[in-house]
Structure 1
Amino acid sequence: MALYTFIELPPFESLRDELFDDQGYSELQYHLLEHPESGVVIPGTGGCRKLRWSVNGKGKRGGARVIYFLRLAQGHIVMIAAYGKGERDDLPRSWLKRIKEAYEHEQNQKSR
């Protein structure tokens, strides 16, 4: 299993504790460490992925949606957002793409 660092962006961080207990979040992280490409690529977002994840015994269909993207060459799994099924509609693709681009721009500035 490869070693990656999880980076939580503010939209994800603000809802993480509402959706996941410590064990549930650890299980999600472990799953992504073993299967980083398991989420479905969301078209038009520049590579953001959506993963259905079971929370509070609801199963995957009724559980959470986790939005993330990969920077595997840098060893990063970047958590963008999470929400419960039925709590909101799908996040706009343009918003996801802008979040990802802003993060990558910031990282590129740091590496100069």
Structure 2
Amino acid sequence: MYTVVETESFKVEIAELLDLDDRLAFFTYLSQNPLKGDVIQHGKGLRKIRWATSGKGKSGGVRVIYYNMLDDGLIVCLAVYAKNEKENISAKELKSLKNEKQGNQS
């Protein structure tokens, strides 16, 4: 099992979208399945995973952008958004997340 790390912005975003039970269930699942998310094209290792919220199914759920540092035993969560708000992140958002990833790995 791996340790899930949240960036400060991620902590704020996820608290608005998922209750504590859903967050704990997600972190447990991700820590046991770090390769489950789809690799984002041109994302330099970023992954996207869908997570259903309680009673709403995947269509009412969220998408989480994260990357793995499995050699270090870490999974770093960068961003989360409601699936009903947008299907994918924009090129500008992807660039920002890649830069944040680079900064976290330094």
- Provide the TM-score with structure 2 as the length reference: 0.84
Q: Secondary structure at the match of 2:58?
A: helix
Query: Residue 44 of structure 1 aligns with which residue?
Result: 42
After TM superposition, the structure 1 stretch with the greater mean CA deviation from structure 2, 96-105 or 75-84, is: 96-105
After TM superposition, the runs of 4+ consecutive aligned structure 1 residues lying more than 4 A away are none
Contact 1:44 1:97 in 2 (8 A): no
Provide the C-alpha distance between the structure 2 equivalents of 1:20 and 1:99, rounded to a whole number of angstroms. Answer: 21
Count matched residues: 106
Provide the C-alpha distance between the structure 1 equivalents of 2:16 and 2:99, rounded to a whole number of angstroms. Answer: 27
Given candidates 7, 18, 32, the residue that maps to 1:20 is: 18
Name structure 1 gaps, 5 residues minimum: none
The percentage of aligned residue pairs carrying the same residue is 37
Q: Structure 1 9/96 Cα, relative in aligned 2: closer, same or farther at 3 Å?
A: farther
Q: CA RMSD in A?
A: 1.9
Q: Structure 1 27/106 Cα, relative in aligned 2: closer, same or farther at 3 Å?
A: closer
- Provide the TM-score with structure 1 as the length reference: 0.80
Report the structure, 1 or 2, having the larger strand content: 2
Query: Residue 58 of structure 1 aligns with which residue?
Result: 56
Once the two structures are TM-superposed, the CA of residue 64 in structure 1 deviates from its matched residue by 0.7
